[in-house]
Amino acid sequence: MRRFKLGVLGKILVVAAAVAVIGGAGYMAFGSGLIKDSTPEHTQDTPVSNQDSEKNNVPETKPSNNNQNTNMDSNTINLSLDEWIGWKPIIDANMGLKTQPDSIFGKLGLDVNINIINDATQSSNALVKGDLNAAGYTTNRLAFLSQKFKESGTDVVMPVYTNYSNGGDGIIALSKYNSVESLVDAKIAVPRFSEAHTLVVWFVQKSDLTQEQKDQIINNLVMFDTPDDAAKAFFAGQVDAAATWQPYLSQAESSTDSHILFSTASSNKLIMDGIVFRNDWAESHSDLVTKFIDGIFQAESMYSTEMKYIREVMPMFATMSDEDIIATTKDAGLANYANNVEILNNDAPTVFTDMCDIWESVGETVNRDLVNTVFDSKYLMALEDKYSTVQANTSKVQLTDEEKATLKDVQALMTKTSTINFMPDTAKFLDNAEAANTLNEFISIAKTLDGTIIQIEGNINASTDTEEGRKLSEERAKTVANYFIANGIDPNRIIVVGNGNTKMIGDMNTEEGKVKNRRTDVFFKTIEE
């Protein structure tokens, strides 16, 4: 539904961050409030959909009366958000851009000044300069901006995640492109330096393709300024696939010659949205940060019932009906207290590190060390007594036996396969250490692709197909399944299959061939409706 704009000019500004964010006279209006900036030509609201406001005829966002010049003594949370439905609980808790006395934030004693800024360069510059003390970013964007924060000497902390993309972002393709392998010769439209960019590269890098094949796909990426432009190029027949967002995903799905190759409905953890605070401000206002988090959780009950404030605050929703906005809310899953405990301690560091890998692979410089300090759960833990009994919002896969059988013929986008070898006539690993390393790598990916099915197929080395042999092959698959479950994988995501001797790949007359046959193969399946 949206992601931050960061085009060529934005990239240049980020690279030169330490210079770009220092001093300067003049002001620039972004949504509400006034943010100091050294570029006087920018005097209008940042446009939605990464286009000029004149082109879109978008109504201006109402300004607030708050002074946007943040300092250490200010008790106002000066926050920037882009136009994304997942920020709705914050908008609702505030009852608009400026905190209303009878709002959730107001009753908690907070003063929150919200700015709608669709350009990550502008918002991060303002955060670095201190005109903002908080901003909403994805983990992908945080990794991209990590070097900018380092070079400018700005310490940041992300104490809360508010939502995760739940089908709102993905890859659309012509019908004949149905796997990573099929994309080797494809032209893929990608909005440069965006979450969609990282999504494509992540899948390619995590696949079992050869390095030559991976390089070919990445080198063939066709860069566009926005996801809208990428999608339009796809529907115009200029490219074979595109990384984009809703409503283009649904448009591709309804077409006879295209489909959704992948969406974040199968990987809630790939694109997660959280709030970054300047650490100096957060440390000196820890009680306000905790109250802010509390208010977000309280407002989650309004997510699909209150439409007034999101419509008033974010121009892209101004003319939408209640029904359309409610439908849009399904693109983002909300992260409550229990979700945040898991995300901050486990998922976020993993995704951040993966995103650093991605940005470096396309020539960007990142600050990997930020992972050690940025995800701080101490503000969240201050709410433990209040929310410790809350169950995580989840979209865990629940399958009937019939659905599992159907899934066996579904081709997944993610072609990562892990093979584990076994000792003769047993369900014991041939090499425990090697097996653990292989399976742990797969588990790391599986936790990110948390909406996928994991199929585990056991095999044996035998000349005849017997009931005893099939039982042994199934036991080998169960051994791997139990390892996955013990390491945090939901058993409802796992399909166990005993192939017996039907899928032997090695020569039965050689020891090497026998070892190849005594194995389990582990791979992903996706859910197709």
Domain boundaries defined on the chain: 8-166+269-387, 176-266, 401-525
Supply angle C-alpha 407, 409, 410, rounded to 5.
65
Fold for domain 176-266? D-Maltodextrin-Binding Protein; domain 2 (3.40.190)
Please provide residue 99's backbone torsions phi and psi, each rounded to the nearest 5 degrees: -60, 125
Please provide residue 296's backbone torsions phi and psi, each rounded to the nearest 5 degrees: -60, -45
Q: Which of 175, 90, 100 is nearest to 134 (CA)?
A: 90
C-alpha 497 chain-centroid distance? 31
Q: Which of 273, 283, 276, 280 is nearest to 378 (CA)?
A: 283
Q: Name the β-bridge partners of 420.
A: 520
CATH number of 8-166+269-387: 3.40.190.10
pLDDT tens digits in sequence order for the chain, 529 residues long: 454 444 333 333 333 333 333 222 222 333 443 333 333 232 222 323 333 333 333 333 333 333 344 456 689 999 999 998 999 999 999 999 999 999 999 999 999 999 999 888 899 999 999 999 999 999 999 999 999 999 999 999 999 999 988 888 888 999 898 888 888 999 999 988 888 888 888 888 888 888 999 999 998 999 998 888 999 999 999 999 999 888 888 888 888 899 888 878 777 678 899 999 999 999 999 999 999 999 999 999 999 999 999 999 998 899 989 998 998 888 888 999 999 998 999 889 989 998 999 899 888 999 999 999 999 999 999 999 999 888 777 655 555 565 555 444 334 456 678 899 999 999 999 999 999 999 988 888 887 777 778 889 999 998 888 899 999 999 999 999 999 999 888 888 898 999 999 888 888 889 898 989 999 999 887 654 4
Spatial distance between the Cα atoms of 466 and 482, rounded to a whole number of angstroms: 24
Alpha-helix runs per DSSP H in 259-347: 279-284, 286-299, 308-313, 322-329, 337-342
CB-based contact 453:525 (threshold 8 Å): yes
Kindly state the tokens that stand for 239. Answer: 């490219």
CATH number of 401-525: 3.30.1330.60
Number of residues written out for the chain: 529
Taken in order 83, 89, 90, 92, the sign of the CA dihedral is positive
Specify the pTM. 0.74
C-alpha 203 chain-centroid distance? 13
Check for a shared fold between 176-266 and 401-525: no
